[in-house]
Each structure stands twice: as C-alpha cells, then as structure tokens.
Amino acid sequence: MTLAEQFTALDNLLITHRNFWQCTAFDFDELPWPELVPVFDLLSDEQVAELDTDQNALYQLFSPYIPGLDTLTSLCELTAANIDRDEYPFWLSNGIKGRKFTQLQDFVSALERPQPALPILEWCAGKGHLGRMLAFNKASNVHSIELQQSLCEQGEKSAQQQGLAMRFTQADVLKDNVAKHFYPALHAVALHACGGLHQTFMYQACLAKTQQISFSPCCYHLFTEDTYQGMSVEAKKSELRLCHRDLKLALQEMVTAPSRVAKIRETEVEWRLGFDALRKSLTGSQCYVSVPSVHKAIFSGSFKAFCAWAADKKSLELPQDIDYESFLLKGKMRKKVTDRIELVRHVFRRAIEVWLVLDRALYLQQQGYQVSVTTFCEKQLTPRNILIQASLPS
C-alpha cells in the first residue's frame, strides 16, 4: 500500500466513524452511544483506566461494536526502524534524564545517514542534546537553532567543554528570517518540534531543496490555526475538518503518569465538572462552559475554594447556602461518564496522529522527496515515536 492509499483508507474510516471521536466528553451527562452501554456495564473504573493504557486492548474491546476497527488497526501499524543503539560516554548524558537519553539514542540510531556525511541543522534544539550526539557521531558540523538565548549559551558551553563541532543561533523560527540557514547540502533534523514549528521546518527545507530531512513531530495543535490546514493535496481534498480539540486527541496516548500526577488530574476533572453542575444550577444553562487553566496547587486545597475562584473567572455570584458536597458528588459521577466517552474517543487517537503524519509525508513526496515513515522507539519511551525521513534522489 502506498502512502497515498494508506492515507485515503484512513481518511475514509475516520470520516465514517467521526461520531465516535469528534465530540467533547464534557458536553454529555450520559453516554451518547446507547449500543455501547452494555460494554461499559461490565467495566469497573479501574478496568476503564487500565484499558486506556493499552491501544490494542481498546481495538479488541470495541471491534464487535464499531465496524472496520480491524482495518483501522492495520492502517495505523508502522514499520519499526532498525535500531542498533550506540553506546555513549557518561559525560555526554550529563543533564539528560534517563528515558530522554534513551529516546535520543534510538532516534540517532534510526537516522539514515547519507555518505559522505552532511552538515547537520538541528531545529528547535533546546540545549542541543541531539546535536551533541550527532557531533559525537562524527557529523562534520552541527548548527543548532533555538529560541531561548539561555539554552543556546548552555548548549555552546557544553559543546566547547566536550570538544564537539557545534554552533548555536538564537532565533524565533516563526518570525525571524530562517531561510538563510537551509541549503541543499544539509541534513535537517528535529526531535519533537511542535505543530507550526515542524511545519515551518518542512516548508523551509523543501524550499531550499535540502538533501536530507529527518524529524519526529509532536503537539500538532501548537502554533497553528484553530482549523487544521492540510499540507498535502490529499489532505486539502479531504472532507475531514480538524480543530485543536481533534489534534489534541492525537496526543492522548501517554506513558503512565506518576500516581501523584494522576491523582491531581483526577481531582481536577471532578472539580471542574462539579463546578459546572453548580454553574448550571444557578444559570439554567445546559451547555458545558470551560474555566481557564490554573496552577495545579489549587487542587490541593478545597473544592469550595476552587468554586470561588472559578465563579470569579466566570463573573458568577455564589449564594451562601451552597451544598458543595452534593455538587462535588455530581462532578465525580459525571467524571465516570466522561472517562468512558474518552475511552471510546481514544480508540481513534493513534489514527488521528497517523493521518497527520501521512499528510506530512505526502507533502514531502509531492516536493520530490523519497519518504519513509517508521517508529524509532518503543511507546514506553514516548508515544510520540514516529520518524519521518525524506531524501532527494541522487
């Protein structure tokens, strides 16, 4: 199957089943799919949480009820890159957390390295951890582009101490003239550059006819318009219209969070839904209304204090005789519903990401590149494990 055929088949399935994923869980007080009620009647809250960490188990559970999931599974499968993880001296890993360092090792191992070796352009480099690995692996030179001047300075200091051929440029890649950093005899790389950042990277590399492009995309909704703008011919023709909420769905397969973080997340959802029940009782409104993001420390306090904060943000005056415990209970009950709706939506989270990745791969093909799409590491290291590589024919 070609990339275009894979995209079209995936596009058709997502359009057919968008009633299962293109919705907002907080909008509902009960499950919007009556045919799935018997499935959830058999599941405890713990089982729902466990299923949410296992994409294959989700496919198996819902395949009798959602036609075409077997096809969806195969369409989302990507070939794993051949990884021969290189060993590095201990000093190269200084300042890099264990799992991140292994991600970098696998990313570098998966890269196609043209001969003779090309200079490297490292996009959205941070402190240049990826660039330092590539420089250690005998890249002729590495040019790292980063927004924050402090990170550039830290990266330059580390490279100098370690005797690596690197230089840094501070730039806002969405505003500054970055075209001058791209040219044909170059290998442009980016690990987990977000949304508009990696799209700009792709546009500039293609415009310059950069010989080799390798990147792992992330956070597709950031630095983009609210309605997704397709890159390839196929995506531009698609009936699918994705908003930021849909793009965020692609990111909701996560490595298990620490128990403390998971508990705070659970409390946050319960309190937001509890306040929403309170707001509805006071206003008569039946639509969910979000409240702004807030520092997580607030969820270590009281539900009453959270409601006071949220009411202030919504210009809502709270009576003195509120039964906060009853509204918190309503929040907890609604969370059970939203968890189950989210579980159904999550059946399609990898499909949305693969759709977005194929859009990028097809765009590169249409610019004359030979393109491969693989995974460069296990999901346990990062669910954002897709690697797009493109090279111009010799």
Q: What is the DSSP string of 345-390?
A: HHTTHHHHHHHHHHHHHHHHHHTT-EEEEEE-S-TTT-S--EEEEE
- Rg (Cα) of the chain, in Å, rounded? 23
Read off the pLDDT of each residue in 84-108 and give the average, rounded to a whole number. 91
Residue 160 to residue 142: CA distance in whole angstroms:
13
How many residues comprise the chain?
Answer: 394
Structure tokens at 141: 């030179």
Shortest CA distance to 3 belongs to which of 63, 75, 58, 70?
A: 75
Residue 27 to residue 193: CA distance in whole angstroms:
32
Structure tokens at 258: 């620490």
- The DSSP call for residue 258 is P
Span 346-394, pLDDT tens digits: 999 999 999 999 999 999 999 999 999 999 999 999 999 999 999 999 8
Span 226-267, pLDDT tens digits: 999 999 999 999 999 999 999 999 999 876 566 788 899 999
Residue with tokens 């959830």: 40
pLDDT of residue 116: 82
- Asked whether the predicted pLDDT for residue 111 surpasses 80, the reply is yes
Span 159-186, pLDDT tens digits: 999 999 999 999 999 999 999 999 999 9
Q: Are 359 and 50 in contact (CB under 8 A)?
A: no
Q: Are 127 and 158 in contact (CB under 8 A)?
A: yes
The residues near 110 (Cβ < 8 Å, ≥ 6 apart) are 81, 82, 83, 374, 376, 377, 387
What is the pairing mode between strands 370-375 and 386-391?
antiparallel
Element (H, E) at 151: helix 149-161
Cβ atoms within 10 Å of 32's Cβ, excluding its own: 15
- Asked whether the predicted pLDDT for residue 94 surpasses 90, the reply is no
The residues near 60 (Cβ < 8 Å, ≥ 6 apart) are none
Structure tokens at 147: 């927004």
Read off the pLDDT of each residue in 85-111 and give the average, rounded to a whole number. 91
User: Is the peptide bond between 116 and the residue preceding it cis, with omega within 30 degrees of 0?
Assistant: yes
Q: Are 14 and 75 in contact (CB under 8 A)?
A: no
In DSSP terms, 144 is beta-bridged to: 122, 168
Structure tokens at 259: 């128990």
Q: What is the pTM of this model?
A: 0.94
